[in-house]
Amino acid sequence: MKDSSSVAQLAAILRKELDRYSEGEKLPSSRALVTRHQVSPVTVSRAIASLAAEGLVTSRPGAGVFKAAPRRAASALGDVSWQEVALSADPPYATADTGPRSADASGLLATLTAPPPEVIDLNGGYLHAALQPERALAAALARAGRRPGTWSRPPVEGLTELREWFARDIGGPRGPLGASDVLITAGGQSALTTALRALAAPGSAVLVESPTYPGTLAVARAAGLRPVPVPVDADGVRTDLLTEAFHATRARVFVCQPLFHNPTGAVLSPQRRTAVLDIARAAGAFVVEDDFARRLMHADSPPLPAPLAADDLDGVVVHVRSLTKASSPSLRIGALTGRGPALERLRAIQAVDSFFVPRPLQETALELVGSPAWTRHLRTLADALRDRRTTLLAALGSTLPGLLPHRPPHGGYHLWLRLPDGTDERAVAATALRHGVAVTPGGPYFPAEATAPHLRLTYVSTPGTAQLEEGVRRLRQAVEESVPEPYERA
């Protein structure tokens, strides 16, 4: 075995050799394994750790590594039917308005579940490893590890330098935000959870775009809130209907994605940007701005509008921003902004839920965004997103022209496809999976009944553009089997 052999290869060899050992028998020393298999001590250490995690060996410091006792068979599950009562019975003071105590995360989990390796992933919402700045992340992590105090407790609100960076990134160098207006969160989902729990009382209505990100709906319902849909068109949320929704529900929170909306890709028009703030201000309500796609612009994108928070002086906008989408799913660092009493409420809820975000992760994020590699990565990512979007649109145009969106997005990572009336979108998605491509049905994106059948296709979870083209070819097969009136080839 050469030095380049993987940890997995060595672990597989040792796992097979364990058959020759009796329970409690000592394995060869690390030095002997290094010599025998011609690998580094680090490779041996990691392979042993892998076997220990599987319960196959036990390591005793100073004594060596020994074959572990066989695992005992799992005991039979007891009677858990009592939990149906415990989880469903409401206390005497509960009201009909408080909503269910359960959380429906099916729409959210669908995009978090990785398909088998043989399936082309047009479903996931995170960058494939080929698009991640792995070298920049590794270097940032190494530099952060050398910083004095990296493992000490950070401020509850987050590191001051990182909060200052987010304040400039969101509001501009001369904008209304300062470090004191920013809380560091464990990613965008955590920020949304904190915002909705802090700003809306259980049982109350919260206005959401329709369709919208399923994670928003899951957070709202888990907090005992009632998501009320406000339709979206090609120019963003319908502000005429937003006014009516505030009057009808007396809601005090509206959650929106003004930039590269998930799932439609819409960008809120300039006229509606002003209207959203005016309507919310008149209703005495907050606007939770989920700016998840700010760093996912394409190379051919026109200049981006500023966040709503950059034009807000009165604390109407609570802004959510994250580094996760543009870097790595494991760099769970985000920011939540607020002003006045709302910020104190946000701070209190976050402290109760999580105390603080681990300092090593904050230090790593600070090292990353402060390095030239971050700017280079964003330029490279913008080119890659444009090329992938172009490839996916071209593949759809030649194979499924009837599914092409009318206004392709210039940012984000997904396409929203309208299926013919009467199509069972879940059947299409299930059939597509049998053909080896994972896509997302549109139903979970609607707070109430869906207006039409849809599919959402993403283009960041595959290794390259060749998989996108093959994925559309497989989707064509599924559509031909599932759609009432199959599309004609262009």
pLDDT per position as a tens digit, 349-362: 999 988 999 999 99
397 pLDDT higher than 70: yes
213 token code pair: 């990100």
| pLDDT category of residue 2 using cuts at 50, 70 and 90 | very low
Least confident window among 87-96, 226-235, 266-275, 290-299: 87-96
Q: Residue 23: what pLDDT? A: 87
pLDDT in tens, 3-47: 445 788 888 899 889 888 888 899 888 888 888 888 888 888 888
CB 455 within 8 A of CB 482: no
Q: What is the DSSP letter of 265?
A: -
| pTM tops 0.85 | no
Location of each CATH 3.40.640.10 domain in the chain? 135-370
Structural fold of domain 106-130+375-482:
Aspartate Aminotransferase, domain 1 (3.90.1150)
Sign of CA dihedral 365, 368, 371, 375: negative
Q: Which residue ranges does the chain devote to CATH 3.90.1150.10?
A: 106-130+375-482
Domain 7-67: give its CATH architecture.
Orthogonal Bundle (1.10)
Task: Please say whether the beta carbons of 475 and 439 come within 8 A.
Answer: yes
Tens-place pLDDT, residues 55-104: 888 888 778 889 988 766 555 566 666 666 666 666 655 554 545 555 66
CA 326/CA 311 separation, integer angstroms: 24
Residue 490 pLDDT level (bands cut at 50, 70, 90) = very low
Q: How far apart are CA 12 and CA 320, in angstroms?
A: 44
DSSP-derived letter for residue 288 is E
Cα 372 from Cα 376, distance rounded (Å): 6
Per DSSP, helices labelled H in 339-463 are: 341-354, 359-369, 372-399, 425-434
Predicted local confidence at residue 1, as pLDDT: 45
Q: What is the pLDDT of residue 176?
A: 83
Task: Tell me the mean pLDDT in the region 402-431.
Answer: 92
Rg from Cα positions in the chain: 25
pLDDT at 83: 62
CATH 3.40.640.10 is the classification of domain 135-370: yes
Span 180-204, average pLDDT: 94
DSSP conformational letter for 453:
-
138: Cβ contacts below 8 Å, ≥ 6 apart: none
Closest CA to 403 of 448, 463, 452: 452
The string over 216-236, giving b where at least 16 C-beta atoms fall within 10 Å of a residue's C-beta and e elsewhere, is: bbbbbbbbbbbbbbbebeeeb
Strand 334-337 relative to strand 317-322: parallel, antiparallel, unpaired? antiparallel
